[in-house]
Amino acid sequence: MTDPFTMVGVSLEAFTSIGFWTGVGIIAGTYTIFALGLQLNVGYTGIFNFGQAGFMAVGAYSMAILVTETGIDFWLSLPLAIAITMLFGLLVALPAVRLRTDYLAIATIAAAEAVRLFALNATDLTGGAQGLFGFDDSWDEVSDTIEGWLESLGWSNPENLFPLFLVVWVVALILTAIMWRIQKTPWGRVMRAVREDEDAARALGKNAFAYKLQSLVIAAAFGAIAGFFLALNLRFVIPDEFLPIFTFLGYAVLVLGGLANYWGVAVGSIVFWTILEGLRFIDLPVSEVKISAIRFMLVGLALILLMAFRPQGMFGKKEEMVLGD
Amino acid sequence: MEAGALAQSEDLSPFERWREAMRDRPALVTLGFVGLVGVLLIVFEGLQAVADTALTGLSTGSIYALGAVGLTLVYGILKLVNFAHGDFLTFGAYMAYILSGSEQLGVPLVVGILFAMAMTALLGVALEKGMWAPMRRRGAGMLQLLLMSIGLALVIRYAIQYIWGTELRQLDVNDTATVDFLGLSIGRIFLVVIVVGFVVLIATGLMLRFTTLGKRMRALSDNLELAETSGINTSRVILWTWILAGGFAGLAGVLLGATTQLQPEMGFELLLPIFAVVVLGGIGDAFGALTAGILLGVVIEWSTLVVDERWKTAIGFVVLILVLIIRPQGIFGKARAI
């Protein structure tokens, strides 16, 4: 047993600090992008992608490797990394979307774990457990410029990470708006038809297989973009940031916001991460390991209760939920 | 041995022949293939190394199989992909640790094992009564159940982390004693794992095939509604399924803990290899789980002769993905759309 020690500091103080909200905001924005991909897969296409953390890993590592190993410009590395991740997504999707729903869940989680173990063990390429860093110089310049603007607006000595906060939310909201708009197009309607009844969609001449592929590949791209922000936030990329639990957290964000509702993702993400990060400050006389254990026990409990009593989440439509298999 | 079956299809390309053989006799082809790999390894790496790793593989394979048999029964009967099953193993290991952990109460491990099995079975029953049965009555969908099992996995794992912390812990076993035979040397605890695994799994396979309970379980696995209308007390059979699944998971967890170390993620880390065994062996098939578990265990251990040991876990995932792509109905299942 570890020695119990008393947590010092008053919990409420944290919630009034700009640093806390910037930190929570960046994670919430990152997970909004992350879970938008899941929303497209689960909420609108009816495929249970449990490998989103793997796509995030491929995106973040591709960017970091391109910048640090090959010396490609950071801004050029971003579209390249997205393309690589989409290609990887296609590679996973080609066999996976033929599988039954439950098998697809297992196959995608296995693919994600294979990526993580590759990153952990291919030390020459990925730096192994130490990971990669030093890829964000170009971002720092932009960040400084934004800080300059903030200062000229009258905010003396702005929060260091505030520019990242602004950028991640601009990107998250633009992507949400695009997905929300796209869902109203014929393409979006076919997606939902595939979710509701694949055979009926096929009978109408729609290529359900191709639509499912597109769904997973687009989700992979969202994973990659979330990976960039994760990497910029931490300033390094390590395998432990891509454990399966992060996909599960993405699902918690998704079902909290509600299935089949793109704007719900952002709200779900903000609520989820405010609570989860706020729980760091619970004032209990126990060790940090125990506090962290309590936080994740509560996530598990919340998932169980949410699925038992309000599976549609905050803003989901019950009639649009994929209930059967 | 496969050549005879293929004599009539001479105009096929080698790849097509292989596919055809895979379709007709998947178990034979797989065993033949693994046997061939074994022979090649003996030629290049020597008999001693191959036999040693095969023994280790038998031991890890027994643990996979024990873990898989519970998962496969629950999966077959309730169509529930229980992501918390790996954490059942962890739960079992820590239950045994209470009694038989090093520097704990000093109770013999046999008693610890029985206690762990009973407690994990109890956990399974409690969760069935409190969570799964009510959800089934409400007609919950697959995604709901899947996410609930993930939530449950988190609750179990982090409750264990809350109580025992993240440090590595050990069960009180003699891990230096060895047994020698045929010029091979194996740790006594590994031999115990192999024997226990084989005995329990063969007994389970026979039970499923010949006893009334086993027949009822298979009936439920085929069609739950039909079993219910034909007068089987399904909720009772389901309860027994959870008792078996929990008990075997507890046993597998203790054996895993006895051969390695205890930490809160130990079971979850085994979940994907166990899924691989379930799929490979065919859902609901105890003998299939045994064979597939041994196969996977041996293949993973043999892989360490060729590639660095750190890739061992990744090999398990690669096997899982390959099985899902090539033969999602398992090597014993009939060729039907999955």
The ipTM value here is 0.87
Task: Tell me whether residues B165 and A301 touch, CB distance under 8 A.
Answer: no
The C-alpha atoms of residue A312 and residue B325 are separated, in whole angstroms, by 32
Q: Does B126 touch chain A (CB under 8 A)?
A: no
pLDDT given at position A12: 62
Chain B, residues 42-61, CB within 8 A of chain A, namely: none
Confidence (pTM):
0.88
CA A308 to chain centroid = 24
Q: Is A173 exposed, middle or buried (0-12, 13-18, 19+ CB in 10 A)?
A: middle
Candidate from A18-32, A290-304, B1-15, B191-205 with smallest mean pLDDT? B1-15
Q: What is the rounded average pLDDT for all residues in chain B?
A: 84
Q: What is the pLDDT averaged over residues B105-133?
A: 91
Q: What is the DSSP letter of B262?
A: B
pLDDT given at position B64: 92
Task: Tell me whether residues B308 and A300 touch, CB distance under 8 A.
Answer: no
Residues 6+ apart with CB under 8 A from B132: B78, B80, B145
The C-alpha atoms of residue B300 and residue A72 are separated, in whole angstroms, by 38
DSSP string, B250-281: HHHHHHHHHHS-B-TTHHHHHHHHHHHHHHHH
CA distances from A287 to A61, B90, B169 (A): 33, 22, 19
Q: Does B150 touch chain A (CB under 8 A)?
A: yes
Six-digit token string for A49:
């992608």
Name the amino acid, one letter, at A71.
Answer: G
Which carries the bigger pLDDT value, residue B316 or residue B274?
B274
Residue of A nearest to B162 (CA): A290
Task: Tell me whether residues A117 and B311 touch, CB distance under 8 A.
Answer: yes
The C-alpha atoms of residue A313 and residue A267 are separated, in whole angstroms, by 11
Q: Identify the three-state secondary structure at position B101.
A: strand
Mind telling me how many Å the CA of A177 is from chain B's nearest CA?
Answer: 26
Task: Tell me whether residues B150 and A109 touch, CB distance under 8 A.
Answer: no
Chain B, residues 264-303, CB within 8 A of chain A, namely: 272, 275-276, 279
Among 2.60.40, 1.10.3470, 1.20.1070, 1.20.120, name the CATH number for the domain at A11-320: 1.10.3470
Six-digit token string for B266:
């130990």
Q: Identify the three-state secondary structure at position A208.
A: helix
Q: Does B165 touch chain A (CB under 8 A)?
A: yes
* pLDDT score of B2 more than 90: no
Backbone φ, ψ for residue B264 (5° rounding):
-60, -20
Q: Domain limits of chain A?
A: 11-320
* pLDDT score of B19 more than 90: no
Highest mean pLDDT among A199-203, B231-235, B254-258: B254-258
Q: Does A193 touch chain B (CB under 8 A)?
A: no
Q: Identify the three-state secondary structure at position B337.
A: coil
Q: Which of A52, A259, A307, A312 to mutate to test the interface with B (most CBs of B within 10 A)?
A: A307
* pLDDT score of B4 more than 60: no
Six-digit token string for B251:
């046993």
pLDDT tens, chain A, 325 aa long: 333 334 444 456 667 788 888 999 999 999 999 999 999 999 999 899 999 999 999 999 999 999 998 889 999 999 999 999 999 999 999 988 888 888 899 899 999 999 999 999 888 888 888 889 889 888 988 998 898 888 888 777 778 888 999 999 999 999 999 999 998 999 999 988 888 888 888 888 888 899 999 999 999 999 999 999 999 999 999 999 999 999 999 999 999 999 888 999 999 999 999 988 888 777 777 788 888 898 899 999 999 999 988 888 888 777 766 554 4
Candidate from A53-62, B46-55, B226-235 with smallest mean pLDDT? B46-55
Q: Domain limits of chain B?
A: 60-279
Do β-strands B184-187 and A236-237 pair in parallel, antiparallel, or remain unpaired?
Answer: unpaired
Task: Tell me whether residues B146 and A113 touch, CB distance under 8 A.
Answer: no
Mind telling me how many Å the CA of B179 is from chain A's nearest CA?
Answer: 34
How does pLDDT run across B156-184, given as a tens digit for each residue? 999 999 999 888 988 888 777 777 777 77
- List the Cα angle A16/A268/A273 in 5-degree steps: 40
* pLDDT score of B330 more than 80: no
Q: What is the DSSP letter of B169?
A: B
Q: Does B328 touch chain A (CB under 8 A)?
A: yes
The C-alpha atoms of residue A111 and residue A109 are separated, in whole angstroms, by 5
Residues 6+ apart with CB under 8 A from A153: none
Six-digit token string for B286:
């105890």
DSSP string, A43-112: III------HHHHHHHHHHHHHHHHHTT---HHHHHHHHHHHHHHHHHHHHHHHTTS-HHHHHHHHHHHH
